[in-house]
């Protein structure tokens, strides 16, 4: 405010010493200037009240999304539709009951007449095959009339009985992006068998606490690395290469059954799937060229067989059978050729990295044939190609992530698209933080950070998600 002599006050219109308000550019005397400030203060308080009210509205919608007006409209549509269907169904039931009553009365008359004929023949004992066949046919005819009345049927209208609704949203799904430079979270201390080293890591499983379970391929062991740990601990194998129950032979994949805290291992070299629970072992599936493992939300176990070029499914605890073929199984070539990693989504669709065909295949639940969802354009490094793909995972939006082994990159593909995009790597073969060398397993943690088994660099790389 700048002081001036004898100018007109905006409120009282008298010539007085006034002060200018830089907000409204009006001038006020000493008496009315505080009033003006008071009004401004009241308006600020109103804005604060509106802000707090809006904040409460946001919190309410976050905590109770089912109270949103759109949800209420859907509920109202549902209620009205159900009421209309129920009323229509009741009307139809009433008509059917009335028609059936008439039909039953008519059939009952025929039945009574037939009964009189039977009684007459029985009384006179004057009958032969012809009369018996006649009675039998009459009984069959009225039975059919009762069970399948020809004058009553249900007609389905071609036009919808209720008004259908759908949701239109202009907001596009947000695809994650990751920092191009990774953090080494496991290994990275050279090739070796010490607890802070790995020797060609393959499959990765990350639990809800971000603890990692890793197949240490050439060390014939499974190691667990706690979140932020400097070294791992051996939880299976680690007793040299062999086929004893306490040994492993080039394990390729691992999953954790978090209900009973057991680990299930694709013990490839021993051609078996073995379970470890509290240092006790049990062979679940034998005589299989197992490579990839997966478990769906219902507890079914899926195993890819690289020799038979198929994926089989077993129900948890029922391993005394051959399982069910759910993907491939038609020999190498057009179906699968060296099936490696597998992933099963919420709908029990199966994704298989078809290594020697340089593509990823998808089998929907109960499908007889698979479809190509990534690659399939020959071996190469173009965006529409893959080269010996390994690990495959799918996010909540149905985006497919592939460990593109020989191209040293992770690709993201959207089903139906003609090409994918590079999300990490793709900067040539190397051991820098933005490079990979023969990547294998892929996994997300609960925060959507991306983990890559950087196989030939003997380390696990964490690419942090960009928020």
For 123-152, the pLDDT digits (tens) are 776 667 777 777 788 788 878 777 777 677
3-state secondary structure of 391: strand
Give the pLDDT score at 236.
95
Identify the pLDDT of residue 95: 85
Mean pLDDT of 165-171: 68
pTM beyond 0.85: the answer is: no
- What distances in angstroms separate CA 92 from CA 28, 79, 80, 84, one per listed residue? 80, 20, 18, 12
DSSP 431: S
pLDDT of residue 230: 92
Query: Which is nearest to 391 in space by CA: 413, 415, 360, 417?
Result: 360
What CA–CA distances, in Å, run from 180 to 183, 184, 273, 424? 10, 13, 36, 6
- Give the residue from 29, 34, 36, 37 showing the smallest Cα distance to 12: 29
List phi, psi (to 5°) of 463: -100, 115
The pLDDT value given to residue 2:
46
Q: Which residue has the tokens 């389905």?
A: 156
Quote the radius of gyration of the chain (alpha carbons, Å): 37
The answer to whether the beta carbons of residues 460 and 185 sit under 8 Å apart is: yes
> How far apart are alpha carbons 436 and 451 in whole angstroms?
12
pLDDT (0 to 100) of residue 106: 80
Which pLDDT value is given to residue 117?
Answer: 77
pLDDT tier for residue 3 given thresholds of 50, 70 and 90: very low
Average pLDDT over residues 290-307: 93
CB 223 within 8 A of CB 211: no
Q: What is the dihedral of CA 329, 335, 337, 342, to 10 degrees?
A: -70
What's the mean pLDDT in 98-119?
A: 81
2-16, 192-206, 324-338, 386-400: least confidently modelled range:
324-338
Nearest to 220 by CA among 186, 267, 180: 267
Q: How far apart are CA 466 and CA 449, in angstroms?
A: 9
Give the rounded distance of the alpha carbon of 69 from its chain centre: 28
More confidently predicted of 128 and 99: 99
Q: Mean of the pLDDT values across residues 300-306?
A: 94
Report the distance separating Cα 210 and Cα 199, nearest Å: 22
| Banded pLDDT at 78 (limits 50, 70, 90) | confident
Residue with tokens 């954790």: 256
Please answer whether residues 93 and 152 qualify as being in contact, where contact means their C-beta atoms are separated by less than 8 angstroms.
no
Query: Tokens in use for 425?
Result: 């790597």
- pLDDT of 305 over the 90 cut: yes
pLDDT over threshold 70, residue 270 = yes
pLDDT of residue 224: 95
Q: What is the pLDDT of residue 312?
A: 95
**Side-chain half-sphere exposure of 450, counting CA atoms within 13 A:** 31
Average pLDDT over residues 258-266: 88
pLDDT greater than 90 at residue 115: no
| pLDDT for residue 112 is more than 70 | yes
Cα separation values, 400 from 366, 374, 443, Å? 20, 8, 12
In degrees and rounded to multiples of 5, residue 65 shows phi and psi of -60, -20
The predicted pLDDT at position 5 comes to 67
């Amino acid at each position: 405010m700048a002081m001036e002599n004898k100018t007109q006050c905006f409120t009282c219109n008298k010539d007085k010493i006034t002060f200018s308000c830089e907000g409204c550019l009006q001038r006020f005397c000493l008496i009315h200037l505080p009033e003006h400030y008071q009004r401004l203060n009241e308006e600020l308080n109103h804005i604060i009240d509106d802000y707090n009210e809006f904040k409460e509205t946001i919190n309410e919608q976050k905590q109770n999304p089912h109270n949103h007006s759109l949800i209420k409209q859907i509920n109202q549509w549902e209620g009205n539709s159900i009421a209309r269907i129920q009323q229509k169904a009741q009307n139809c039931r009433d008509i059917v009951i009335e028609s059936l009553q008439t039909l039953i009365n008519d059939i009952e008359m025929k039945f009574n007449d037939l009964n009189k004929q039977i009684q007459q023949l029985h009384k006179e004992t004057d009958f032969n095959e012809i009369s018996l066949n006649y009675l039998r046919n009459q009984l069959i005819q009225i039975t059919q009339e009762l069970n399948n009345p020809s004058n009553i049927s249900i007609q389905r209208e071609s036009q919808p009985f209720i008004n259908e609704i759908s949701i239109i949203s202009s907001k596009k799904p947000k695809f994650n992006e990751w920092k191009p430079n990774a953090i080494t979270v496991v290994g990275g201390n050279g090739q070796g068998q010490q607890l802070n080293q790995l020797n060609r890591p393959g499959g990765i499983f990350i639990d809800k606490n971000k603890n990692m379970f890793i197949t240490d391929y050439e060390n014939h062991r499974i190691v667990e690395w706690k979140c932020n740990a400097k070294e791992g601990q051996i939880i299976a194998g680690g007793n040299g290469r062999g086929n004893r129950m306490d040994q492993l032979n080039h394990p390729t994949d691992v999953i954790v059954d978090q209900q009973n805290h057991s680990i299930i291992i694709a013990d490839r070299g021993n051609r078996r799937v073995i379970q470890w629970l509290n240092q006790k072992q049990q062979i679940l599936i034998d005589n299989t060229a197992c490579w990839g493992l997966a478990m769906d939300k219902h507890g079914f176990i899926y195993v890819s067989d690289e020799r038979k070029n198929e994926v089989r499914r077993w129900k948890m605890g029922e391993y005394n059978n051959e399982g069910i073929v759910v993907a491939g199984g038609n020999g190498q070539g057009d179906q699968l050729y060296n099936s490696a990693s597998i992933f099963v989504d919420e709908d029990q669709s199966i994704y298989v990295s078809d290594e020697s065909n340089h593509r990823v295949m998808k089998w929907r639940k109960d499908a007889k044939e698979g479809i190509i969802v990534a690659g399939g354009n020959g071996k190469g490094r173009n965006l529409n190609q893959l080269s010996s793909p390994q690990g495959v995972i799918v996010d909540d939006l149905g985006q497919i992530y592939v460990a593109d082994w020989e191209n040293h990159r992770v690709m993201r593909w959207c089903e139906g698209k003609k090409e994918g995009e590079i999300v990490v790597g793709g900067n040539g073969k190397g051991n820098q933080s933005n490079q990979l060398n023969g990547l294998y397993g892929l996994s997300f943690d609960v925060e959507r950070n991306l983990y890559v088994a950087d196989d030939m660099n003997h380390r696990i790389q964490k690419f942090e998600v960009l928020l």
